[in-house]
Structure 1
Amino acid sequence: MASYSADVSWRLAEGEDFALGRYSRGHTIAFDGGITLPGSASPHVVGKWAVAEAVDPEEMLVAALSGCHMLSFLHVARLAGLHVVAYRDHAEGTMAEIAPGRQAVTRVVLNPRIVWSGETPDAERLARLHHAAHEACFIANSVTTEVVVAA
Structure 2
Amino acid sequence: MSVHQSVIRWQRAPHESDPSTYSRNHRVTLNGDQQVDVSASVEFKGDSSCADPEQMLISAVSSCHMLFFLAIAEFQGYRVESYEDDPLGYLERNDKKGMEVTRIELSPRITFGGDKVPDQKAISRMHAGAHRNCFIRNSITAEVTVNHL
Same fold by TM (over 0.5)?
A: yes
Q: Does 1:124 align with 2:135?
A: no
Counterpart for residue 24 of structure 1:
23
Counterpart for residue 8 of structure 1:
8
The 8 Å contact of residues 91 and 101 in structure 2, kept in 1 or not, is answered as yes
Q: Does 1:137 align with 2:130?
A: no
CA change 1:80–1:11 in 2 (3 A) is same
Counterpart for residue 36 of structure 1:
35
Q: What is the number of residues matched between the two proteins?
A: 144
Note the residue ranges of structure 1 that are not aligned, 5 or more in a row: none
The 8 Å contact of residues 65 and 134 in structure 2, kept in 1 or not, is answered as yes
The 8 Å contact of residues 29 and 35 in structure 2, kept in 1 or not, is answered as yes
The 8 Å contact of residues 77 and 116 in structure 2, kept in 1 or not, is answered as no
Q: Which AA in structure 2 matches 1:60?
A: M
Counterpart for residue 115 of structure 1:
111
1:100 Cα deviation from its structure 2 partner? 4.7
1:120 Cα deviation from its structure 2 partner? 2.6
1:21 Cα deviation from its structure 2 partner? 5.9
Give TM-score, length-normalised by structure 1.
Answer: 0.89
Note the residue ranges of structure 2 that are not aligned, 5 or more in a row: none
Deviation per CA, 1:105-133, whole angstroms, max 9, x where unpaired? 11111110001113332222211110001
Q: How far, CA to CA, are the matches of 1:122 and 1:138 in structure 2?
A: 26
Q: Which AA in structure 2 matches 1:10?
A: W
1:81-120 matches, cutoff 5 A: 81-117=77-113, 118-120=115-117
Q: How far, CA to CA, are the matches of 2:8 and 2:80 in structure 1?
A: 36
Q: How far, CA to CA, are the matches of 2:95 and 2:42 in structure 1?
A: 22
RMSD, matched Cα = 1.6
Deviation per CA, 1:64-88, whole angstroms, max 9, x where unpaired? 0000000000000111111111111
Quick one: percent identity of the two aligned structures?
A: 36
